Amino acid sequence: MGFERITSMIQGTKDFTDFSHQISNYETDVFRPIFDEIEKLSGRKYGSTLPPVGSTGENEQEKSDVAFRVVADHIRTLSFAIADGIQPGNTDRNYVLRRILRRAVRYGRTLGFHEPFFFRLVDVVARSMGAVFPEIRAKQKHIEEVLRREEEAFNKTLDRGIEIFEQHLFGPFKSAAAFSASGSKPGVCMSGKLAFELYDTYGFPLDLTQLMARERGYEVDVPEFEKLMEEQRTRARAAQKKEVIELSQIETKTPTHFLGYDLGHAGADVQEIVALKGKTAVILNNSVCYAEMGGQVGDTGELIGAGKLWRVVNTQHSGNTWLHFIDGEDAPVVGEHVTVEYDAPRRAAIQRHHTVTHLLHWALHEIVSKEAVQKGSYVGPEKLTFDFSSAALTPQQRRDVEKRVNEKIEENAPVSWTEIPYVEAKKRSDIQQFFGDKYGELVRVVQVGGQPAGLNGYSMELCGGTHVRTTGDIGSFRIVREEAIAAGIRRIEAVAGDAARDWAKAEAAKQQEKFEALARKKDGIAALPGFADDGETKAMLEQIDARSAHLEKLGTEVLEWEKQNAKASETDLRSRAGTIASELAEAHGGQKSCVAEVPNADAKLLQAVVDALKPKFNGPIFLVGGADGRVALIASIPKELTSKIQANKLIQEVAPIVGGKGGGRPEGAQGAGKDATKIGDALARARELILL
């Protein structure tokens, strides 16, 4: 049942103010099972009495019978509306529903109900009307749950609200009974302020308060109530946002009409403003912004109101409701008319990537395997990624896929879309679809090639995304990465159009860095081919490829050269060390130890000297070298002497003299320091220690 049906029911009871009308035999028949159930639950009998016109009942039976009719009528209305997906709430038709429920609960009091009872009547509605309206049966549990929650919440405030009402209305007499016992006559006007307080604090809809007042001979000062309501609305406008934790809590179930396949901007009414995780979202009845779905990112754009503009930073959806997330706290007001438009250059970049994703999917089937099943995708303005089940692509396959896609782009084939029944699409093995995905009755097929909308393209996919009009709009396509993301699942990252240009520029800069690093290692390498960032995208990509091939060659060349260089310097080191060792052996011939400085020697050379000296000199060796402001120390003690002198202890003792430290084993140890002016002191201390 839609809003229209609720409306007609409300009209049938003159906006709930008149339940005194005669109900027909047909209606009695329809209501009978519900009356029976109410009788069972309340212990009262329905007496078919009618109060005088304009009265809400003059005796108990009349009042009770009115309550029977109101409750029976409302449980039907509420069951249908909730089955249709409308929830009781604070705005629009959701509030209409809440009003109906609260009035029904209040009438339930007349029948002696103080606990939630309304939800117990859903069963009889489902039983008596479920044949005609099966959705009631299907959603019975849900309806009961919603009603019970609402009833519980309202029951909590109802008693207190009634008390406040009586106290204010009858002043010191506290209750209507005490008031009339005192012989006082009721006034005519109940203050709008009291009605507003009951509404604002206790959730009493105005019509409920009016009803309660009328029963006691009063009329509510409606203009005053309206004035207070308007003041509150003004206050609330500043803080109108509803805080929700998750998308499912959004009250508006009005679907947003997406017009963005064909239009770049559209007029729209603001339905609701919600705050979600600190962000503000505007819900509109129409939108041209694409909401993130099926891998395609949400649009950015603008909402333009009277003399004001809000930036849309993202668009998402909850069911059929679109959420336009806006920058900052400020938002349009509910009911405001705005123009909504998307960021066109960004959308164009996204569309290029979406259509080329379909071409990539097709080419993978052509070149790699029909079994390459799509596992997911991301389509954004800066790139696309496409996940599929497959073994790793060979370099040849990767090149072929890229080439085939670029050929299809150059063909400039039409891209079109059409809606067909899902049952028909299911029969077509040439239309790509995700099995297991939920599709509606009608599905949208996006095709590339063939007659526009003729369902005879070479690429056809069920897809809700937005696309370019011809493949030529895509521009040059480039696969930039192909990698594993899980066992048996590969991911291709690719760019097209302007994104390919941006990628080429960034890649050219990286290539320049690589080249400079190589040039630092070896002089005179062949210069990197040039890169012009203002030409055709295709030419830019070709330059990138040429530079890449050149860099690969240079890399090999420099590596080879480095290897030979290292070999040469190792040979050089050994020969220098041999000469020094021979000189030292000769100079210390006949001595028990060799303690000496090796000018300009670093740790590497000292080690090589010790290695060369040991076969020629059998005794403690201690060498110091100073090079580039650093001091290197090395000690070597023959194994048979380590019980008396240990190389590591020697180094630990001497290194601090040159401002350093070191260590090692008893037979061999090394150290380093910073103070070359103390080399003489270090040698002297080493001689002392070795003599001890």
Residues binding Zn ion (CB under 5 A): 463, 465
Which residues, at least 6 apart from 321, have a Cβ–Cβ distance to it below 8 Å? Answer: 250, 252, 253, 254, 255, 256, 283
CB of 358 to Zn ion, least distance (A): 6
Q: Please, which residue, 465 or 662, has the CB nearer to Zn ion? A: 465
Pick 268 or 289: Cβ nearer Zn ion: 289
Select 409 or 584, whichever has its Cβ closest to Zn ion: 409
Q: What is the longest distance spanned by two Cα atoms in the chain?
A: 140
DSSP H or E run through 621:
strand 621-627
How far is residue 484's CA from residue 491's CA, in Å, rounded to a whole number? 6
Quote the least distance from Cβ 466 to Zn ion, whole Å: 9
Tell me the closest approach of the beta carbon of residue 289 to Zn ion, in angstroms.
Answer: 17
Q: CA 545 to CA 216: how far, in whole Å?
A: 90
Output the smallest distance, CB 364 to Zn ion, in A.
14
| Cβ-count burial 528-546 (b if 16+ within 10 Å, e if not) | beebeeeeebeebbebbee
**Phi/psi of residue 341, nearest 5 degrees:** -140, 150
Instruction: For residue 232, give every residue at least 6 positions away whose Cβ sits within 8 Å of its Cβ, in sequence order, or none.
Output: 196, 200
465: DSSP letter: S
Q: How far is the CB of 377 from Zn ion (least distance, A)?
A: 8
- Measured from the CB of residue 367, what is the shortest distance to Zn ion in angstroms? 20
CA 621 to CA 687: how far, in whole Å? Answer: 10
**Residue 5: both structure tokens together:** 């049906």
Q: Which is nearer to Zn ion, 303 or 463 (CB)?
A: 463
d(CA 314, CA 380): 12
Minimum separation from the CB atom of position 462 to Zn ion (A): 8
Q: Which is nearer to Zn ion, 351 or 648 (CB)?
A: 351
Closest approach, Cβ 490 to Zn ion, in A, equals 19
Select 192 or 465, whichever has its Cβ closest to Zn ion.
465
Residue in the structure block whose two tokens are 């010790």: 610
Q: Which helix (H) or strand (E) holds 178?
A: helix 176-181
Nearest to Zn ion of 365, 514 (CB atom): 365
Q: What is the DSSP string of 316-329?
A: EEETTEEEEEESSS
Pick between residue 102 and residue 347 the one whose CB is nearest to Zn ion. Answer: 347
Per-residue buried b or exposed e for 436-472, using 16+ beta carbons within 10 Å of the residue's own CB: eeeeeeebbbbbbbbeeeebebebbbbbbbbbbebbe
Minimum distance, C-beta of residue 465 to Zn ion, in the bound complex (Å):
4
Q: What b/e string do you get for 211-221 counting C-beta neighbours within 10 Å, with b at 16 or more?
A: bbbbebebebb
Number of neighbours of residue 566 by Cβ within 10 angstroms: 10
Which residue from 689, 604, 603 is spatially nearest to 652, judged by alpha carbons?
689
Nearer to Zn ion, 95 or 434 (CB): 434
Residue nearest Zn ion, CB atom distance: 463
Half-sphere exposure of 548 (CA within 13 A, CB side): 10
Minimum Å gap between C-beta 349 and Zn ion is: 15
Quick check: 651 and 664 in contact, CB under 8 A? yes
Q: Rank residues 165 and 386 by Cβ distance to Zn ion and give the closer one.
A: 386
